[in-house]
Amino acid sequence: MWKRNLWPIQTFVIPHSHMDVGWVYTIQESMHAYAANVYTSVTEELSKAEDRRFIAVEQEFFRLWWDTAATDSHKRKVRQLVKEGRLEFIIGGQVMHDEAVTDLDDEILQMTEGHGFLYETFGVRPQFSWHVDPFGASATTPVLFALAGFDAHLISRIDYDLKDTMQKNKKLQFVWRGSPSLKEKQQIFTHVMDQFSYCTPSYVPFSNSSGFYWNGVALFPDPPKDGVYPNMSVPVTKETVHAYAKTMVENIKQRAAWFRTNHVLWPWGCDKQFYNSSVQFNNMDPLMKYINQNSKDFGVTVQYATLGEYFQAIHQSDLVWELRGSEDFLPYSTEPHQAWTGFYASRNVLKGVARRASAQLHAAETLFTRYRISFPDGPVAKDWALDKLRALRWAVSEVQHHDGITGTESPKVADMYLQHLLQAMMGVEELLAALFLLPHNLDQHVIVYNPLAWNTTTIINFTVTFPTAAVFDDDGQPVPAQIQRSAQSNATYDLFIVVELGGLQQRKYLIKFSEKECSGTLKCGWTYEAKGVLFERLNVRDWLKTGRRLLPVLNQCYKLMFDQDTNLLTLSIDRYRYKRRVRMTQDFWEYHANGDVKAGPISDNYIFSANGSAVRAYEAVAMEIIPGKIVTEIRQLFFREEGDQDYAFSITTRVPECFGSRLPCHRLEQTYSLGPLRLNTEVVLRTSSSLENNKTLYTDDNGYQMMKRTHRKFANNTVARNYFPMVRTAYIEDELSRLVLVSDRAHGVSSQADGQLEVMLHRRLWNNLAWNLGYNLTLNDSSVVRPTLWMMLGSVSATAGLYQREAIELQHRPVKEPKERSPLRSVVLPPNLHLLSLSIPGWNYSSNHSVHLSNDMRSEPDYDRVLLRIMHLFEEGEDPELSKPVTINLKDVLRGIGEVKVLEERSLTGTRDITSLQRWKWKTADNLETSENDLSCGGDAFTVTISPKEIRTFFVHFASRNF
């Protein structure tokens, strides 16, 4: 404390504007109303005074301004300001991504796209994060930022009661070891913003206006023609300067009491600020001058600063920092009745399309990369192809925004995201069609491409209009298949085909259709025509006795029992590897939300506030079973009222029949249909089992790592505060067994009772809160949603080796194209490694930083540099074999693509040479030396060792042509 008395508090005033890439207004509306003005006016104002600073965060807005609005004069000034360090790019991603419901692949993508643009254009590489607005903080994010070469991480939104405790104990800064496997290798210094968060305090006691926001409030759709915005603050004059200074200093001192050093981060700005920055700086300049002239009396000095200058000062303080392990800051609550756990399930359709677009992008990237290497002068125009890929990269990146994939935006903004995604997906469909050449005869040729670097045997399905089909492979041999009447329509049929594919390999299948049913096995090939068995529709009120009439559905892994007294799945047994009998039921329940703010807490886009316990969402159940030789399908229809003609919910469970023992039998594939929901209901799939999990569950952080979620009791809102995000995986377990679900999109998940796993699938809400009505954020979502979950049940050890791969296989299912082209050689990685990326980024820059800085920026795209990422899927100690480090020779692994000539290891986003990356060291109690530059290479330049949970990134150059 003696330092604080001897030295004044050093205040770093950081000018910034928080600009949501879609929220209430579309990106186009925001650009027109204020966002373009931010960069135009800030560029001009920074150029007028050397001490002024600004941090630029969301690259989508900056790039739009740079490409469409900035003049040559603005661009020259920006380059100079960046060179001088007075305009600092923070995070550098396309958006400030959400941390709860985003997938690892997409977080990396959006950051890579932004970093590539910044490095190509300015030669800069962001070093710091500014994650001020995501609704909770994942432990994966600091790991990714460390892998990208960041030196410090900043977050803000964490549980209100936890933040209060950390403030009082001066624990808002720590070194975070986000991965339990990588530990100190990828630790990062983390700063949690205090209770004022990222906005300047808007209250000043002598004014009814907006405090330190002299430029007022942004106007939509058009800025005022006279340049005068409403709610302008009282100007800083000789008469008001002391009152402003007193208010500012009091706030600075209040903040200083919560931190260990004499340095205070004072964010100056908030949402949609600095579009009229001359007014801002012309008021703050004299105010800061006045405080510094009277610093002895105030005990405070102030200076404009970038975030980097603040962190540099903290780093130089040379303190020993506390450690935080791999726990995250989820879920997030702002007060007892405001648990921000509803957005885990808001806008299910958008969440699903975003993930589907991401999977399509991954497949197209790998295919185009292979095409470029094999046919550099082929007929598919490289610039056209890159344009198609970039459009989808940017659409997928954009929707990762913390008011995008979260579902917390207005309906017109959700429509904008969907339009951008679907339009870009159509463009990539055109690219895929060009990469798969056109067919040459009338029979349907289907190309099936495996986008994963693993061999796979799986079932693919098509909706067709003919009742009979025979399927043959590219050698003319019959392929196991099954055809049956579709669940969606009586006029169509579902065709299931067993496909065997090598890693990154495609195969051609010929489908011959007929309008007549088969009369003999030769004509049908190996196609089985499955017929359904309908069961009586049963009313819940008639369920007097259950479990008397159990109908078994068996495969080599499970014995599923369907109760003919209820039409529900009642129990499951893993038959061969595992003899334990596990009781299980599965059905739909719903929470009823309050819509009147005068009656109590409400639910909305963000918040889940359970108005009592969940109740059964249906009164009757119908069932149909279609026994098959490829797959047995169970269709359960749930009717909201006994007399309803149309079902409200359904579960379609596909049980693979392990044809020839080649199919994986351990996963049960379930697809659901929900909606339209009744207003103010939130519907969950409840799986109740005999597992003794003590209401403890495990959910994933961004598909990267599993987090233990222990049930906690609260004075208020216990149900909602025990919901957690499930991006790919959730499971419950006891000493013997584990029940796993993997998903094709994000959901909310909880364990509200012993043995229970509850997934929130859909929400439809309306309330009369003025703020929600004014911004149209009540989530009156009347859509029908059709998410997919795969379920596995077995011993803890057996499922530990499966669920990571299953989650990835669900995300990256084979791509089906009705076209034809020559086969590709397979590329196969060991089972514990995943090919995270194989793409041609197109950025044009030298791998040598000094050479890059001396060259002209942003010239023609580079089509020869391939970006490769490989990830180890397992944690240390998770599996006796699969958790071991893996040594591979990348030249051998990639031989099926082409001859590798050059291999360079890079940081996560590719902009840094890993051999010269020197991240800041931070002192900790255990004083472990970090070893992020330990490359674990083998005896030659192409052999690498990948340790548990490592993600290693490379630039690969192939020989000019693959002969």
With H, G, I as helix, E, B as strand and everything else as coil, classify residue 808: helix
Please list the residues that pair with 785 across neighbouring strands.
674
| Phi, psi (deg, nearest 5) at residue 533 | -120, 120
> Of 687, 409, 657, which is closest to residue 554 (Cα–Cα)?
657
Alpha helices in 169-276 (DSSP H): 241-256
Cα separation, 545 vs 28, in Å, equals 60
Classify 651 as helix, strand or coil.
strand
CA separation for the pair 592, 766 (Å, rounded): 12
Q: Give the separation between CA 447 and CA 130, rounded to whole angstroms.
A: 44
Q: How far apart are CA 264 and CA 613, in angstroms?
A: 45
DSSP labels for 3-37? HHHHS-EEEEEEEB-B--SSSSS-HHHHIIIIIHH
The dihedral sign for the CA sequence 736, 741, 746, 750:
negative
Looking up tokens 């007193």 gives 246
DSSP 590-605: EEEPP--GGGS----S
End-to-end CA distance of the chain: 72
Of 149, 41, 46, 30, the C-alpha closest to 95 is: 30
Q: Tell me the β-bridge partners of 944.
A: 888, 937
* Sign of the Cα pseudo-torsion (35, 40, 44, 46, in order): positive
Q: Which of 703, 67, 93 is closest to 398 using CA atoms?
A: 93
Residue 898 main-chain phi, psi, to 5 deg: 170, -175
C-alpha–C-alpha distance, residues 158 and 931, integer Å: 30
Task: Answer whether 244's CB lies under 8 Å from 302's CB.
Answer: no
Instruction: Please tell me the distance from the alpha carbon of residue 229 to that of residue 209, in angstroms, as a whole number.
Output: 12
What is the Cα–Cα distance from 84 to 88, expressed in whole angstroms?
9
Given 103, 105, 133, 734, the catalytic residue: 133
Query: At which residue do the structure tokens 């009313």 appear?
Result: 539
Residue 222 bears catalytic tag: no
Alpha helices by DSSP H, listed for 401-458, are: 411-435
State how beta strands 833-839 and 866-872 pair: antiparallel
Partners of 512 in the β-ladder: 470
- CA nearest to 619, candidates 567, 688, 685: 567
Q: Are 734 and 693 in contact (CB under 8 A)?
A: yes
Beta strands in 530-648 (DSSP E): 533-539, 550-554, 558-563, 568-574, 581-592, 615-616, 620-626, 631-639
Pairwise CA distance, residues 371 & 382, whole Å: 10
In the structure encoding, which two tokens stand for residue 198, read together?
Answer: 């990222």
Strand partners, 621: 538, 638
What string of H, E and C letters represents the secondary structure of 59-80?
Answer: HHHHHHHHHHCCCHHHHHHHHH
Rounding to the nearest 10 degrees, give the CA dihedral for residues 592, 593, 599, 600.
120
List residues with catalytic annotation.
133
